Amino acid sequence: MLRKSIVLPFAFCFMIISVVAGFAEDSSTEQPANTAEQTLQDTAGAPGTEAVQETEASPAVQEESKEVIQEIPAATPEEMPEVIQEKHKESKEKPVKAQQKPVKKKKTNYFDSKSFVAPIDFQMDGKIVGIKEEKTLISQGDVVYLDIGFYNGVEKGTRCDVYRKKEKIRDSSGEIIGYQVIKLGILQLTEDINENSATAVIYRSYEPIVKGDYIKIAK
């Protein structure tokens, strides 16, 4: 009885110790796993781990950025058109001299002035050969007779200038170059016109007109 009473407490203690030891082993095996999970969670939540992950992912981003840079062509400035400056070729052609047109000498209109020098070959068309009323001096409104007619191309209403030849004009060497002519007035033909004769009226008188003065058909 004494031996049983001693053995039973020892056996009970041994069982308790073995049970406690078993729990201790289970807890020790679970604790490392839990600690590993906690360390992973802690490292995942820690800022350092994000940096590590970012640094680990950065090479891939860099590779993608490199690929993008390679795909996008570099922007080039707009191509400006080349301005080709052409050098003006010196013209070897000689300057053309402006041709001076010959100046035409104006013909002297002797009939516009009352006195002028007519050349030697200056021809009159006819003369005053008579006066209707016997007068020495003929004035405006008087009727005169002429030695021109249809053959000279005159008709009713034709006007003629009345002239008088004066002295001859000589140059410095004494040669005759013409003669002075004075315009005396204007006459107008009436309807009384024949082949070589006609009747006219003194239309205007600047100087006294006499028988024998010359007439020139007005153009």
The string of pLDDT tens digits covering residues 14-37 is: 677 776 666 655 555 544 444 545
Residue bearing tokens 């009226």? 201
Burial of 211 (0-12, 13-18, 19+ CB in 10 A): middle
pLDDT, average across residues 78-92: 54
Predicted confidence at residue 19, as pLDDT, reads 65
Query: What whole-number distance in Å separates Cα of residue 147 and Cα of residue 157?
Result: 16
8 Å CB contact between 197 and 138: no
> Rounded to two decimals, what is the model's pTM?
0.48
Write down the domain spans for the chain: 2-64, 111-217
Count of C-beta atoms within a 10 Å radius of residue 196: 13
The CATH number given to 111-217 is 2.40.10.410
Q: What per-residue confidence (pLDDT) applies to 12?
A: 67
CA distance 61 to 56: 10
**pLDDT computed for residue 68 by the predictor:** 46
Taking 90 as the threshold, does the pLDDT of residue 142 lie above it?
Answer: yes
